[in-house]
Amino acid sequence: MMAQGYVAPGFERVRGAFDEQLAREELGAGFAAIRDGQVIVDIWGGWTDREQTRPWAQDTIVPVYSTTKGVAALVMALLHDRGDLDYDAPVAALWPAFGAHGKDKVTIAQALAHQAGVPGFIDPIDPDLWLDPPACAAAIAALEPLWPPGSASGYHPLTWGYIAGEIARRATGRSLGAILREDICTPLGIDFQIGTPESDHHRAAEMKKPTRAGAFGEITPPRKAAFFTKWAAPVRGSTQWRKIEIPSANGHATALGVARLYEAYAAGGIINGARVLTQEGFDALTRRIWFGDDLVLPFKIDWRAGVIGNSNRIYGPNAEAFGHSGAGGSVGFGDPAASVSAGYVMNKQSHHVMGDPRSLKLIEALYACL
């Protein structure tokens, strides 16, 4: 199936790259890009189901997994901007139980930069605990850190979202997903949800899991806790999983929804002409908190307050870009140097830990047209 949707004059190369991937590498997918506030690409194609009976539509949504984190980071930055929370304050100031086992000095900024030392559960848990966010947050708060907090980063694939969600709830009395919906997405007409109501589940594409695991190297305790136990994640795709809020992992969106929210990273806190963050708030969100080897991910990483700096050049050629990737291949990024943001979503997951070749090809084609 060929791509459907809109491509601005001069960006036909992006459609060509997308069509080639649809024919060879995808089940279904979408790609969107925005420049200076204007949509320059919004295309989709393929199938939403493994049996290839339901075509991908303009309003098809798909779980974007950890690409959700860059969106949740925007919400946390909004709360910092409003004075509801302070990045430099200890998490335990809002959430005293989090201070257990020497985590009392972990700041909100450090927690958002994956430095709290609790990337997952070493000891067995019932995987259904992940489906009960308040109980899961309490269990995470009680964990002993796997390294001295603040001394290193170690990617928190799921626990990050429960920590951020609990901080947001305690700071405002509202859930992170509700703040995203009520304060950003509904007013600006953006199709991105953390906590997707059943009324929208019919729009969600089925996911096809990767055929092999990613290459992480030696399975150290932090990597084991994060990814390599039978209880490291809940069963995904259920009605309950889609409905609850996991700000690290279960955002559902179109490619255009991803591109619109990551536009904030390209435009200094502005989305579709509306200022969502002050310049000071944007600067606080995007200041470097940690750069170096990660204890979970098998490479150096440039952590900001929940989003990744582009030191590895997987979000285009410019070092000034910020982005986040999701399990299996999804991507969102914003590049202030080029005034461009983009979102790539798909339902055939790959094994690449980060830098999926499909997104890299589309991003390369996009920049070739700028």
* Summary mean pLDDT of the chain: 97
Rounded to an integer, the average pLDDT of 246-259 is 98
The Cα–Cα gap between 14 and 31 comes to 9
Position 261 confidence tier, pLDDT thresholds 50, 70, 90: very high
Indicate whether 259 pLDDT > 80: yes
Indicate whether 221 pLDDT > 90: yes
Domain holding 175, by residue range, is 4-369
Indicate whether 76 pLDDT > 80: yes
The Cα–Cα gap between 273 and 269 comes to 10
Which of these is catalytic: 66, 153, 248, 359? 66
Rounded to an integer, the average pLDDT of 103-120 is 98
**Active site (annotated) includes residue 339:** no
The Cα–Cα gap between 191 and 60 comes to 10
Rounded to an integer, the average pLDDT of 30-45 is 98
At 112 the pLDDT is: 98
Indicate whether 232 pLDDT > 90: yes
Query: Which CATH number do you get for residue 133?
Result: 3.40.710.10
Q: Hey, which bits of the chain come out as E strands?
A: 4-7, 28-35, 38-46, 62-63, 192-194, 251-253, 270-271, 274-275, 290-293, 300-303, 308-309, 322-325, 331-335, 340-346
Q: How many domains does the chain have?
A: 1
Indicate whether 117 pLDDT > 90: yes
Q: What is the DSSP letter of 362?
A: H
Indicate whether 185 pLDDT > 80: yes
Contact 258, 192 (CB under 8 A): yes
Contact 7, 48 (CB under 8 A): no
The DSSP line for 176-214 is HHHHIIIIIIHHHT--EEES--GGGGGGBPPPB--SS--
Rounded to an integer, the average pLDDT of 99-123 is 98
At 212 the pLDDT is: 80
Rounded to an integer, the average pLDDT of 57-74 is 98
At 213 the pLDDT is: 82
The DSSP line for 245-278 is --TTT-EEE-HHHHHHHHHHHHTTSEETTEE-S-
Rounded to an integer, the average pLDDT of 137-149 is 98
Rounded to an integer, the average pLDDT of 9-24 is 97
Position 354 confidence tier, pLDDT thresholds 50, 70, 90: confident
